Structure 1
Amino acid sequence: MKKIILLAITFLTITAGFAQSKGKATTLLDEVSSKVESYDNIIIEFKYALENTAENVKHETRGDVSLQGEKYLLNIMGTTRLFDGDKLYTIIPEDEEINISKHDPREDNDITPSKMLTFYNDGYKSEWGPTEDLKGRKIQYIKLTPIDSDAEIKEIKLGIDKQTKHIYNLIQTQDNGTKITITVNSFKTNQPIPASLFQFKESRYKDYYINRLD
C-alpha cells in the first residue's frame, strides 16, 4: 500500500510539474503573439542555416523580410517572394522568371513569412525549456512538438528574448535529420514604409518570362 501511495504521489508531482511548465510556455507565447500583433509593420534581417550531418550538407545565407499583416516581401538566396494579400509572386532574377500564383490559406501548411512570428498558435504542443545567456541577453527556449504525428517536423525550439518578448531564433529539426536555424540579427518595428512595397509592378520586368500558375 505504501508503495502504491508513493507511486501515486510521484505521478501527481510529475504531472503537476508538467502542467505548470506547459502553462508558463503558453503564457510566454501569448505575450510574444500579442507583442507582434501590436505593431503596424516589422522589418527583420536574419541568418538562415541548414545542416544535415548524415548527408554532409551545410549551408548558410542571410535574408530580410518586411511584414505588414498578411503581406510580406522576402529576399533570400537571390530570390524575392512578394505576397500582396491575394497573390504570391516569386521573382528569380538569375533566370529572369516570375511565378505568380493565387494564395489559398487552406492549403498552406508551411511556416510562411507572414506566420513566422505566430505559427506556434496552432498545431503545436508547447513545453518550457532552458534559459540561455547569449551575448548578455536572456533567451528562454520553448519546445514545440507538432500535434500531427505524421508531420515532417520533429520538433522546434523557439528562443525568446525575455526582456523584449521578441523571437531571437528558431531551431527546427526534421525527421530526416535536417536542422534549420533562423537567427534574428535585426528587428525593427513601425517603420515608415510605403504601401507600394507590397505591390507587384509588372512594368519593371519587361524582359522576364512570367509564369501564371492559376
Structure 2
Amino acid sequence: MKNIICLLLLVTFGITGLQAQDANKAKALLEEVYNKVKSYDNIKVDFKYELNNTEANVKQETRGDVTLQGEKYLFNYMGSQQMYDGKKVYTIVPENEEVTIEDKSEEGNTITPSDMLTFYRDGHKYEWDILQNVQGRKIQYVKLIPIDSQSEIASILLGVDVETKHIYKLIETGKNGTKTTITVNSFKTDQPLSKTLFTFDESKYENEGYYIIRN
C-alpha cells in the first residue's frame, strides 16, 4: 500500500512539474511576441473576424483593419471607424452620420485596439497547446485562462507564428458558448504614416452634417 501511495505521489509531482514547465514555456513565447511588437514604430493588421454561437443560431463574418502606433490607433470595422489620438476616442458611424467623442475606457475587462497585441501579459494562466502547420507556417498555440473567475471568457487560444513571433490567430470561447475567431490576413510593420492619421478634424464632419455626441 505504501509503495502505491509513493508511486501516486511521484506521478502527481511529475505531472505538476511538466505543467509548470509548459506554463513557463508558454509565458516565454508570449514575452517574445510582446518584445517583437514593442520593437516596431507602427503596425498595420488586416484581419478576418468570425463569431459563432450554435445554440443561439448566430453566425457573423466580416473583415477589418487596425493601424497602431504606441497607444494611438485607427480601427476600421463593420463600416465604422474608431480612432484614439492619445487623449480622446472618436467613433465615426457614416451610416448614422454620427460621431461620438469620449475618454478612453479604463474598464479592466475592455480590450481596446491598442491592447490587441499585448493583452495576454496580465490576468491569465498559461498552458502550452498544439502546434499546427498552416500552409508551411508553424503556428504554436498557447491557451490563456482568465484568473478572474467572474470573467465571461472561458479561455483564449492564441496562435503564434514560430518564425516571426507575430500573432496569427485568436480564438476566444465565452462561457455562454460564443466562439470568436480573429485571423490575421496581413501584418505590416514600420509603414510610412501620414502625420494627420490620428488627428480628428471635427469641422470636416460638422460640414458634412454629422451629429457630434460628447460623452
Deviations 1:98-130 (A, max 9, x none): 01101243x242121100100001111111001
Matched, 1:34 2:29: no
Partner of 1:168: 168
Task: Kindly provide the amino acid, as one letter, of the partner of residue 123 in structure 2.
Answer: G
Report the Cα distance in structure 2 between the residues aligned to 1:49 and 1:132, rounded to whole angstroms: 20
Q: Quote how far apart the aligned CAs of 1:4 are.
A: 1.2
Aligned twin of 1:98: 99
Amino acid at match of 2:4: K
**Matches of 1:89 and 1:109 in 2, distance apart?**
20
* Equivalent in the alignment of 2:85: 84
Which whole-Å CA distance do the structure 2 matches of 1:122 and 1:195 have between them?
Answer: 32
> Structure 2 length normalisation: TM-score?
0.97
TM-score when normalising by structure 1: 0.97
For residues 9 and 56 of structure 2, the distance between their equivalents in structure 1, rounded to whole angstroms, comes to: 46
Match for residue 22 of structure 2?
21
For residues 148 and 125 of structure 2, the distance between their equivalents in structure 1, rounded to whole angstroms, comes to 10
**Deviation string, structure 1 residues 39-70 (Cα, Å, up to 9, x no partner):** 00000100000010001110100001000011
CA distance in 1, matches of 2:33, 2:110: 20
Q: Give the length in aligned residue pairs.
A: 212
Q: Percent identity?
A: 58
Letter in 2 for 1:210: I
Which residue of structure 2 lines up, in the alignment, with residue 177 of structure 1? 177
Listed as ranges, the matches of 1:63-212 within 5 Å are 63-105=64-106, 107-206=107-206, 207-212=209-214
The alignment's C-alpha RMSD in Å is: 0.8
The AA in structure 1 aligned to 2:164 is T
Equivalents in 2 of 1:204, 1:88: separation in Å?
A: 17
CA shift, 1:195, in A, is 2.5
List runs of 5+ in structure 1 lacking aligned partners.
none
Instruction: Give the distance between the partners of 1:156 and 1:111, measured in 2 at CA.
Output: 13
Rounded Cα–Cα distance in structure 1 between residues aligned with 2:200 and 2:38: 25
Superposed CA deviations along residues 134-185 of structure 1, whole A, max 9, x for unmatched, are 1111000000000000101110000000000000010000011111000000
SS at match of 1:192: coil
Measure, in 1, the Cα distance between the counterparts of 2:44 and 2:203.
26
Are positions 1:50 and 2:51 aligned together?
A: yes
Q: Which amino acid aligns with 2:29?
A: L
Where 1:177 maps in the other structure, the secondary structure is coil
3-state SS in 2 of match to 1:82: strand
Tell me what 2:11 maps to.
Answer: 10
